[in-house]
């Protein structure tokens, strides 16, 4: 059974109703802090949706919140350390206000060793739940509010789909829509399949319904999400794949832009490339992680493609969608990666010339096969390589951005620039950020054409035409 049962849905609705009356006169405020990827952001929107339904409003201040929930990420050790540091620091706040409820959820909690550590060492945390228990939040919160002990739900599972959970979105002109959950790929370094369960796709009708509703609320751009989004439909009994889904989303009236992530190279079918080329709303942007350039390392990572296959795929993508913006993820310092292996990674960067590269130093994740490898490469060496990679990519990104000088792009305006209140910010069809001075009545949600007047390594500045 992939979707949750009607009984379970009813039980949660019952807990929601009870919570609503319990909280009726309290005007409770919540703060939900998210780490990790867009899937987690989207889960946080569901958490906020469930909280809003029982009477919570939201605050950005810890001092002001009656409930603080950290939605955590386990993909690298650094992400986990940051959460633990922040949770530790909250013990003062809890001492000051014993009624403050602190919750931890998400990928980090889905690892049993981590949930145990939290229970043992962070006694001020009252609510602990994993990714598979998200839809049970009404019940867990109800129990945590009534009981004085920690409420924990981190049961392991292949994962379920819980439709119809309310989603609280900020009213932005763009929205994330999860189309599938989980991952079956088991790349040897990666914790995601262990904490997110197996691949499971939502029914296309449910996805189309959600996007149609978003459009009715004023959204004009959607990003379809999945850890391996282009494997969409493989687990369903009906005849639908990601290419067909794109075509159906493309037909939604009023929607203007479609993006999607993350795509695995092995699932970039010819049908998908054709759909990308045919659908005018599918933006010329592709995030296509290659992780490593060396075939030996790719095999050790269980990525299921070679460097030559990856480069050929990039060639075919560019043939179908010329001028597509390409980005990628790269891991530096996989166990026993040699200098020659690393140079193959640099070779791919030089050959493809990605617009953006997200690079990470390998982080050992307990429970994954790569964690068992006896690694002879020093941390110092890994950091040196990481810096070399960054220097190379900065130069490439800069050159690509410089090439945009004088060019005009249509932007979807997203709002005020985070760094300069006199500027607005928006994205090009390829997903590049351009800042431009506030002009006339232009506001978030508008589409404007901007000409690039100044370039940086990371951003572009322009002027409205």
Pick 377 or 434: Cβ nearer ligand SAH: 377
Query: In sequence order, which residues have a C-beta less than 8 Å from that of residue 438 and are 6 or more positions away?
Result: 422, 423, 424
Residue 331: name its binding partner from ligand SF4, ligand F3S, ligand SAH, none (Cβ under 5 to 8 Å by kind). Answer: ligand SAH
Q: Which of 190, 219, 276, 411 binds ligand SF4 (CB under 6 A)?
A: 190
Q: How far is CA 186 from CA 197, 285, 358, 452, in A?
A: 11, 26, 20, 42
Q: Which of 16, 40, 178, 185 binds ligand SF4 (CB under 6 A)?
A: 185
In the window 144-203, what residues touch ligand F3S (CB under 6 A)?
191-192, 195-196
Query: Which of 258, 312, 263 is CA-nearest to residue 286?
Result: 263
Give yes or no for residue 193 binding ligand SF4 (CB under 6 A): yes
Euclidean distance between CA atoms 48 and 57, whole angstroms? 9
Euclidean distance between CA atoms 346 and 339, whole angstroms? 11
Burial tier of 398 (Cβ tally within 10 Å: 0-12, 13-18, 19+): middle
Euclidean distance between CA atoms 299 and 353, whole angstroms? 23
In the window 414-443, what residues touch ligand SAH (CB under 6 A)?
none
Residue 360: name its binding partner from ligand SF4, ligand F3S, ligand SAH, none (Cβ under 5 to 8 Å by kind). Answer: ligand SAH
Pick 194 or 436: Cβ nearer ligand SAH: 194
Query: What is the per-residue binding string for ligand SF4 in 227-246, x denoting contact by CB under 6 A?
Result: xx------------------
Query: Which of 106, 218, 219 is CA-nearest to residue 153?
Result: 106
In the window 294-333, what residues touch ligand F3S (CB under 6 A)?
none
Tokens of 22: 């319990």
Give yes or no for residue 230 binding ligand SAH (CB under 6 A): no
Stretch that binds ligand SAH, among 135-143, 185-193, 376-384, 404-412 (CB under 6 A): 185-193
Question: Buried b / exposed e across 281-302, counting CB within 10 Å, b at 16+?
Answer: bbbbbbbbbbbbbbbebbebbe
Euclidean distance between CA atoms 395 and 400, whole angstroms? 9
In the window 255-284, what residues touch ligand SAH (CB under 6 A)?
262, 264
In the window 349-368, what residues touch ligand SAH (CB under 6 A)?
360, 362-363, 365
Stretch that binds ligand F3S, among 67-75, 145-153, 198-206, 348-356 (CB under 6 A): 67-75
Stretch that binds ligand SF4, among 144-152, 178-186, 250-258, 417-425 (CB under 6 A): 178-186
Pick 37 or 208: Cβ nearer ligand SAH: 37
Pick 48 or 76: Cβ nearer ligand SAH: 76
Q: Which of 110, 139, 228, 230 binds ligand SAH (CB under 6 A)?
A: 228
Quote the distance between the C-alpha of residue 191 and its chain's center. Answer: 15
Q: How far is CA 349 from CA 306, 429, 432, in A?
A: 15, 23, 19
Euclidean distance between CA atoms 31 and 383, whole angstroms? 35
Query: In sequence order, which residues have a C-beta less than 8 Å from that of residue 98 and are 6 or more positions away?
Result: none
Residue 193: name its binding partner from ligand SAH, ligand SF4, ligand F3S, none (Cβ under 5 to 8 Å by kind). Answer: ligand SF4
Q: Which of 67, 74, 125, 288 binds ligand F3S (CB under 6 A)?
A: 74
Euclidean distance between CA atoms 451 and 460, whole angstroms? 10
Pick 37 or 373: Cβ nearer ligand F3S: 37
In the window 65-94, what residues touch ligand SAH (CB under 6 A)?
75-76
For ligand SAH, the binding residues (CB under 6 A) are: 75-76, 189-190, 192, 227-228, 262, 264, 289, 291, 329, 331, 360, 362-363, 365
């Amino acid at each position: 059974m992939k979707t949750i049962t009607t009984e379970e849905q009813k039980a949660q609705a019952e807990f929601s109703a009870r919570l609503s009356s319990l909280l009726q006169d309290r005007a409770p405020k919540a703060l939900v802090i998210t780490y990790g990827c867009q899937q987690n952001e989207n889960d946080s929107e569901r958490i906020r949706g469930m909280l809003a339904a029982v009477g919570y409003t939201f605050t950005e201040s810890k001092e002001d919140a009656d409930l603080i929930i950290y939605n955590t990420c386990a993909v690298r050790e650094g992400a986990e350390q940051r959460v633990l540091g922040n949770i530790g620091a909250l013990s003062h706040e809890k001492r000051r206000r014993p009624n403050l409820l602190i919750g931890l959820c998400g990928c980090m909690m889905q690892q049993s060793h981590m949930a145990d550590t939290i229970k043992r060492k962070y006694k001020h945390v009252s609510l602990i739940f994993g990714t598979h228990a998200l839809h049970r939040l009404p019940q867990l919160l109800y129990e945590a509010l009534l009981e004085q002990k920690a409420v924990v739900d981190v049961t392991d599972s292949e994962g379920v789909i819980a439709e119809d959970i309310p989603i609280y979105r900020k009213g932005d002109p763009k929205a994330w829509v999860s189309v599938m959950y989980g991952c079956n790929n088991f790349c040897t370094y990666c914790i995601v399949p262990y904490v997110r369960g197996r691949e499971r796709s939502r029914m296309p009708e449910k996805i189309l319904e959600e996007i149609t509703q978003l459009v009715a609320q004023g959204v004009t751009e959607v990003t379809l999400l999945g850890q391996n989004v282009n494997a969409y439909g493989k687990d369903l009994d009906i005849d639908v794949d990601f290419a067909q889904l794109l075509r159906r989303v493309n037909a939604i009236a009023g929607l203007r832009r479609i993006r999607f992530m993350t795509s695995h190279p092995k699932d970039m079918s010819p049908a998908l490339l054709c759909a990308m080329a045919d659908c005018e709303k599918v933006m010329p942007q592709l995030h296509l992680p290659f992780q490593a350039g060396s075939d030996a390392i790719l095999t050790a990572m269980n990525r299921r493609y070679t460097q030559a296959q990856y480069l050929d795929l990039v060639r075919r993508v560019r043939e179908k969608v010329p001028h597509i913006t390409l980005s990628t993820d790269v891991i530096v310092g996989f166990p026993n990666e040699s200098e020659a292996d690393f140079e193959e990674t640099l070779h791919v960067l030089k050959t493809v010339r990605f617009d953006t590269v997200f690079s990470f130093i390998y982080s050992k994740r307990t429970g994954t096969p790569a964690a068992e490898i006896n690694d002879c490469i020093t941390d110092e060496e890994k950091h040196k390589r990481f810096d070399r990679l960054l220097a190379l990519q900065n130069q490439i990104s800069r050159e690509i951005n410089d090439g945009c000088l004088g060019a005009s792009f249509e932007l979807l305006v997203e709002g005020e620039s985070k760094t300069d209140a006199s500027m607005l910010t928006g994205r090009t069809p390829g997903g590049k950020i351009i800042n431009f001075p506030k002009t006339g009545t232009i506001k978030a949600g508008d589409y404007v054409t901007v000409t690039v007047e100044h370039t940086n390594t990371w951003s572009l500045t322009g002027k409205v035409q």
